């Protein structure tokens, strides 16, 4: 496979920034998954698709809307009725799912080159994200593993909580750099580090 370039690169400045004299309260990075895949089940085929996700990734989906899980290497979450985003550090996930998900069950869409995954972590992660999105980021309302579909100024964002104070945000690759810059600006007042 060819080496993938980051769309963030011209604005990706490793180090501490903003008001960090009293410590860094936000960590920003790009997770660069090798695979990002969206799966959609035809009506009534959701359970079969969830079984395929389990057999391909080893991840079990908790019941209910927006449920998800992550083992640190692979991640999955629901983002719409019968639809799931799956990411893997390794490449080739779409090919594995193309074998496991038959056309009678649903569809597989490879978005590995279409989305950029940005991770925001730290004690002020909820606080910074609350400036962007009108959704409840509190842990009881948005548990670890769960996913949310929302938008920032009409730019779609899928957000998965991958830790108590850690979120992975999937945005369109073509909008990723401007979203990244906005995220950096929003983190300035609490001090942030790019890793």
Which stretches of the chain bind another protein, using CB under 8 A?
A: 43-44, 46-47, 63-66, 78-83, 134-136, 148-151, 154, 156
- The candidate with the shortest Cα–Cα distance to 168, out of 52, 43, 76, 50, is 76
Q: How far is the CB of 83 from another protein (least distance, A)?
A: 8
Q: How far is the CB of 107 from another protein (least distance, A)?
A: 15
Nearer to another protein, 114 or 123 (CB): 114
Q: How far is the CB of 50 from another protein (least distance, A)?
A: 10
DSSP state of 189: G
- The candidate with the shortest Cα–Cα distance to 124, out of 57, 25, 195, is 25
Q: How far is the CB of 32 from another protein (least distance, A)?
A: 26
Say how far apart CA 117 and CA 158 lie, in whole Å: 9
Nearer to another protein, 37 or 146 (CB): 146
Nearer to another protein, 22 or 153 (CB): 153
Question: What are the E-state strand segments in 61-133?
Answer: 68-70, 74-80, 83-88, 106-110, 115-121
Nearer to another protein, 29 or 48 (CB): 48
Nearer to another protein, 24 or 159 (CB): 159
CB 180 within 8 A of CB 8: yes
**Which tokens hold the place of 171?**
């945005």
Q: How far is the CB of 3 from another protein (least distance, A)?
A: 33
**Which tokens hold the place of 58?**
């080893």
């Amino acid at each position: 496979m060819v080496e993938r370039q980051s769309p963030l690169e011209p604005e990706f400045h490793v180090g501490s920034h903003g008001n960090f004299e009293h410590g860094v309260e936000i960590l920003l990075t790009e997770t660069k998954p090798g695979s990002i895949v969206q799966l959609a089940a035809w009506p009534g085929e959701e359970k079969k698709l969830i079984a395929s996700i389990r057999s391909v990734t080893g991840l079990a989906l908790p019941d209910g809307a927006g449920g998800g899980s992550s083992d640190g290497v692979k991640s999955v979450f629901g983002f719409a009725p019968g639809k799931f985003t799956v990411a893997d550090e390794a490449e080739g996930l779409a090919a594995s799912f193309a074998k496991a998900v038959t056309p009678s069950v649903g569809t597989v869409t490879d978005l590995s080159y279409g989305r950029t995954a940005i991770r925001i972590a730290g004690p002020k992660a909820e606080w910074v994200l609350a400036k962007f999105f009108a959704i409840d980021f509190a842990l009881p309302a948005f548990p670890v593993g769960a996913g949310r579909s929302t938008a920032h100024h009409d730019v779609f964002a899928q957000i998965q909580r991958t830790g108590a104070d850690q979120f992975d945000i999937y945005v369109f690759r073509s909008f990723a750099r401007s979203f990244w810059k906005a995220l950096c600006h929003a983190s300035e007042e609490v001090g942030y580090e790019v890793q």
